[in-house]
Structure 1
Amino acid sequence: MSYTGPEFDPPQSHRPRSRRVLTVALAALVPGALLGWGVYAAVGGPGDGDGPDRAGGARPSPVPSSSRPAASADDAKTPTGASPSATAGKPSASPSTSAPAASGPLKGKVVVIDPGHNPGNFQHPSQINRRVNIGTNWKECDTTGTSTNAGWPEAKFTLDVAHRLRTLLERQGATVKLTQDGDRPYGPCVDERARIGNEARADAAVSIHADGSGAGNRGFHVILPGAVHAGAADTRAIVAPSADLGERIAGNFVRVTGSAPSNYIGGGTGLVTREDLGGLNLSTVPKVFIECGNMRDSKDAALLTSGAWRQKAAQGISEGIVSFLRG
Structure 2
Amino acid sequence: MRALRRCAGVLVAVLLLGGPAGPAYAERTDVATRADGSARPLVGRVVVLDPGHQLGNHNFPRKINRLVPAGGFKKACNTTGTATNGGYPEATFAWRVTRLVQARLERLGAKVLLTRSANRQDRWGPCIDVRGRAGNQVAADLKISVHGDGSYAAGAHGFHVIAPADRRPWTHDICRSSRRLALDTRAALRARGVPVANYVAGGDGLDLRSDLGTLNLSDVPTVMVELGNMRDRRDAHRMTTAAGRATYARALTAATRRYLR
Quick check: TM above 0.5? yes
Answer yes or no: is the 8 Å Cα contact 1:136–1:276 preserved in 2: no
CA distance in 1, matches of 2:172, 2:206: 18
CA distance in 1, matches of 2:3, 2:168: 20
Residue 143 of structure 1: how far off its partner (Å): 0.5
Identity over the aligned pairs, expressed in percent? 44
- Report the equivalent of 2:135: 197
Runs of 4+ in 1 over 4 A off after TM superposition: 100-103
Tell whether 2:105 aligns with 1:118. Answer: no
Tell whether 2:166 aligns with 1:227. Answer: yes
For 1:1-327, list aligned pairs within 5 A.
16-18=3-5, 94=16, 103=33, 104-182=40-118, 185-214=123-152, 215-229=154-168, 234-256=170-192, 258-326=193-261
Secondary structure of the 2:136 match is helix
Deviation by residue 1:126-145 (Cα, 9 ceiling, x = unmatched)? 00000011123110000010
CA distance in 2, matches of 1:276, 1:136: 10
Residue 200 of structure 1: how far off its partner (Å): 2.5
Please, which runs of 5 or more residues in structure 2 have no aligned partner?
8-14, 34-39
Secondary structure of the 2:223 match is strand
Deviation by residue 1:195-238 (Cα, 9 ceiling, x = unmatched)? 222123110100000000014101000000001125xxx11110
CA distance in 2, matches of 1:16, 1:301: 27
CA distance in 2, matches of 1:169, 1:139: 32
Residue 17 of structure 1: how far off its partner (Å): 3.4
CA distance in 2, matches of 1:146, 1:128: 15
Paired residues in the alignment total: 233
CA distance in 2, matches of 1:94, 1:200: 10
Answer yes or no: is the 8 Å Cα contact 2:147–2:225 preserved in 1: yes
Amino acid at match of 1:246: A
CA distance in 2, matches of 1:16, 1:229: 18
CA distance in 2, matches of 1:287, 1:322: 14
CA distance in 1, matches of 2:4, 2:133: 26
Please, which runs of 5 or more residues in structure 1 have no aligned partner?
1-14, 21-92
Amino acid at match of 1:224: A
Change (3 A) 1:266 1:174: farther
Amino acid at match of 1:131: L
Residue 267 of structure 1: how far off its partner (Å): 1.6
- Report the equivalent of 1:7: none
Secondary structure of the 1:181 match is coil
Answer yes or no: is the 8 Å Cα contact 2:4–2:179 preserved in 1: no
Answer yes or no: is the 8 Å Cα contact 2:188–2:254 preserved in 1: yes
- Report the equivalent of 2:11: none
TM-score, structure 1 normalization: 0.68
* RMSD (Å), alpha carbons: 2.2
Change (3 A) 1:129 1:136: same
Residue 94 of structure 1: how far off its partner (Å): 4.3
CA distance in 1, matches of 2:236, 2:249: 16
